[in-house]
Structure 1
């Protein structure tokens, strides 16, 4: 059997502002932007590199969905962006306007710093050790 996690749905306020943030600030690539009709789109962004999981951006429509934008992790770090070179990517992301919540630190598992995306979701930028 061969399985993998392909996408994680991320609620966003607006498709276009989300695409701009994830591609221009985080440097993700736009893998898909298909019109599904009735205002829905199939939008997938993913970090550079091979394989891995992409974000399926879902524009919030209902009031419950709108309230959940930026709150899917309930205030915790819940998205982890791995990099092969933390010290290359950290200053590039800062220069693009990414807001880090802390200074970088070294943990037993790697070099890490927490940041927020444009909706307030908390992420780890992480270079795993080993």
Structure 2
């Protein structure tokens, strides 16, 4: 049996502002934007070169969902953006006014810095160390 995680739902305030952030600030690719009904769209974005999974941008439909915007993981790092060139992406993100919560640090597993998206969800920008490079290509 083969299984994989295809999409991760990310609750957002507004489809268009979320699409703009991910495509213009992080250079993600808009894979799909299909209107399902008057209020709901099926919106998928992914980093360039991503093949296995993508983010499903899901507009909050009620007050309970709106409360989770920006805090889907209880304040922990929620998503991990792997890169093949940490400094290229870090500098580009700083120039694009992405807010970093923790500065770059060299760890045993690689170069890492914590940033937040437009709603405050925490992300790791991570370039795996040479020992862990195979993780990036999987």
TM bracket (short chain): over 0.9
Q: Which residue of 2 aligns with 1:62?
A: 62
Please state how far the C-alpha of 1:53 moved relative to its aligned partner: 1.5
Q: What whole-Å deviation, never above 9, does each CA across 1:33-68 have from its counterpart, x for those lacking one?
A: 000012100000000114132000000011000011
SS of 1:57's partner is strand
If each structure's helix is expressed as a fraction of its own residues, which one has the higher value? 2
Task: Classify the secondary structure of the residue corresponding to 1:104.
Answer: strand
Alpha-carbon shift at residue 103 of structure 1 (Å): 1.4
In 2, the alpha carbon distance for the partners of 1:41 and 1:11 equals 12
| Shift >6 Å, 4+ stretches | none
Deviations 1:46-91 (A, max 9, x none): 0011413200000001100001101101111010000011011100
TM-score, normalised to structure 2, is: 0.91
How many aligned residue pairs are there?
Answer: 130
Gaps of 5+ in 2: 132-138
Q: Could you tell me which residue of structure 1 aligns to residue 23 of structure 2?
A: 23
Unaligned residue ranges in structure 1 (runs of 5+): none
Q: Give distance in 2, aligned partners of 1:71 and 1:102.
A: 17
Answer yes or no: is 1:10 the counterpart of 2:10: yes
The answer to whether residue 124 in structure 2 is matched with residue 124 in structure 1 is yes
Q: Could you say what secondary structure the match of 1:34 adopts?
A: strand
Structure 1 length normalisation: TM-score?
A: 0.97
Q: Structure 2: how far apart are the matches of 1:116 and 1:50?
A: 20
Distance 1:73 1:110 in 2: 23
